[in-house]
A and B are shown apart, each in its own frame.
Chain A
Amino acid sequence: MWADAIVTLIKLAVVIGVLLTTVPIMVWVERRGSALIQDRLGPNRVGPWGLLQPVVDAVKLITKENLIPDGVDHFLYILAPFIALAVALSTFIVVPFGQGDGLTLFGSKIHGFIVAPDLNIGILYIFALAAFGVYSIVIAGWSSNNKYSLLGGIRSSSQMISYELAMTISVVGVLMASSSFRLDQVVMAQTGTWLGFIPKWNVFPQIIGAITFMVAAFAETNRLPFDLPEAEAELVAGYHTEYSSMKFASFFMAEYINLVTSSALIVLLFFGGWTLPGLTIPHGWAGAILSLVIFAAKVAFFLWFFVWIRWTLPRFRFDQLMALGWKVMIPLAVVNFLWVGVAMALGIL
């Protein structure tokens, strides 16, 4: 009983620690990456290759004056960043991050590298909580009493609803192919190869679903080319225009943590999680660490992919965004899940 509780607490501490550490690293990657893409240097003064720049940024944000503008709705204004960060941190508890079956710690089974191993709704939990992420942006936009914030909030709510549909429908195909909502079983269903060399990853039979899921992930995390809620050229900074110091930093951290969760989901659903073709991960701690490294490497690639796209593509117009979501992404996602259904009925998949 106590050992179980301690194991869960350790897993929770590791997950939150890793998520919060990824934020400064991603800020550095984003700034240096954008500099690389735009052929300039980027931050290079603080520490080797500017690596300590995020630390300095964090100190700046913590010590900044905590400004609350006149005319805001006090309670909601302060609540919004809390919701953003709480949702971002709590979605990760159903995400498995390595093969940890059969391992023990302090004589207690660790039930795999996942904080909540017995939650059989798995990915539905993430969708349910992500729904609350919308509220943080909408509340922030409303309570700031600023027209740009309000416009950002309105854009965000319509964008999130539109792309949530495409995202959910594109996941249905994966859930059908692995006949489980649990992400660890989704990964298990992707082990092995076809014809001896093609890995059994969902991305190959369901390339359309993978593309729609990734596009929807960009829209759900408010990243360019879909960062309409905070489009700085039109809306100053959108929903967080009126936020400063750590309250702004909470939104900022939530955005990067959501990025990590989205990348992890892309890897788990479509790119085989911690599996590699032709590699049987051994049981025990050595195999567990190997699977952690593989998974982290794949997630890191997709984190870089998010940065890469952001500094390569220009922003969409709002009507283009809506047309893309409703007229292209949703029909494509439906085609994907029809194809999976037909293929499963014919016994191909």
Chain B
Amino acid sequence: MVTYVFLAAAALAIVFGILAIAHRSPIINVLSLVVVFFALAAIYAVLGMDFLAAIQLIVYAGAVLVLFLFVIMLLNIRSVDRLGSGRRLQAILGALTSIAIGAAVVVAIATLTPAQGAVAPGSQGGTAFPIGRSLMTTHLLPFELVSLLLVAALVGALVLARKETR
């Protein structure tokens, strides 16, 4: 059961991931990305990570991608250039980077044993309680650093958006 749900969600994520970068309409790109995030949330949920699944949808599908859509609609972009007609150097660098990241992920998965890396489906590891506990104890410093980064980003956005009053 878990395997079939995972395979279906993974296939959905890959197909719509390709659509998200290859389609010419920016609206279709963003909406495909929504489907990708939905498929990822389904994978989290089937692994017993309910909390992570919900947060994934609330943060990415609910806030970040709506902002993307908002900008695209505000600028009224109906279609973009065909894939590969951009700058040559950017394309090569992008391809190399994505191959490197993909290789790193494959190596990481191949070397991890299930006991280290994966969660047993249906375990309680994904509920809010253990996540909150580990954020406040073992991972307190990274958590505070991330908060600091977010505050810095917020202040930066305010500085950019500030109107000159003089």
* Contact residue among A76, A121, A132 (Cβ-Cβ distance under 8 Å from B61): A132
Taking a contact as CB atoms closer than 8 A, the residue among B27, B31, B54 that contacts A128 in the complex is B54
In the complex, chain B residues 126-157 whose Cβ is within 8 Å of any chain A Cβ: 127-128
Contacts of A130 in B (CB 8 A): 62
What is the interface of chain B mostly: helix, strand, loop, or mixed?
helix
Cβ of B108 under 8 Å from chain A: no
A124 and B51 contact, CB distance less than 8 A: yes
A150 at the B interface (CB under 8 A): yes
Q: Does B74 contact A (CB under 8 A)?
A: yes
With A120-B50, A124-B58, A128-B58: A142-B66 Cβ-Cβ less than 8 Å: no
A124 and B51 CA atoms in complex are apart in Å by 8
Q: How far, in angstroms, from A76 to B72 measured CA to CA in the complex?
A: 16
Q: 0/1 per residue, B63-79, Cβ < 8 Å to A?
A: 10011011001101000
Looking at the assembled complex, report how far the CB atom of B141 sits from the nearest CB atom of chain A, in whole angstroms.
Answer: 22
Name the interface residues of B6-43: CB closer than 8 Å to any CB of A.
27, 31, 34, 41
Asked if A120 and B127 sit within 8 Å, CB to CB, the answer is: yes
How far, in angstroms, from A157 to B67 measured CA to CA in the complex?
A: 8
Q: How many residues of B contact A (CB 8 A)?
A: 23
A249 to B101, CA, bound (A): 47
A142 and B73 within 8 A (CB): yes
Chain A interface helix/strand/loop/mixed: helix
**B46 interfacial contact with A, CB 8 Å:** no
Docked CA distance A158–B70 (Å)? 7
Whether A181 and B27, one on each chain, are in contact in the complex, defined by CB atoms closer than 8 angstroms, is no
Contact of A134 among B51, B53, B62 (CB under 8 A): B62
Asked whether A181 lies within 8 Å of B62 as measured between CB atoms, the reply is no
**Interchain CB contact under 8 A, A141 and B67:** no
A157 in contact with B66 (CB, 8 Å): yes
CA distance A173 to B61 in the complex (A): 24
Pairwise interchain contact B57-A142, C-beta atoms closer than 8 A: no
Contact A119 B62 (CB under 8 A): no
CB of A121 within 8 A of CB of B66, answer no
| Interchain Cβ contacts under 8 Å between A and B, 6 examples | A128-B41, A139-B27, A142-B27, A142-B73, A154-B73, A154-B74
Known: A73-B27, A128-B58, A131-B66. 9 other contacts (CB 8 A): A121-B50, A124-B54, A128-B53, A131-B57, A132-B34, A132-B57, A138-B73, A157-B66, A160-B66
A residues lining the B interface (CB < 8 Å): 73, 76, 119-121, 124-125, 127-132, 134-135, 138-139, 141-142, 150, 153-154, 157-158, 160-161, 164, 168, 181
- The interface of chain B, by Cβ under 8 A from chain A, is 27, 31, 34, 41, 50-51, 53-55, 57-58, 61-63, 66-67, 69-70, 73-74, 76, 127-128
Smallest CB-CB A-B distances: 8 pairs: A131-B62, A128-B57, A124-B54, A121-B50, A157-B70, A128-B54, A121-B54, A131-B61
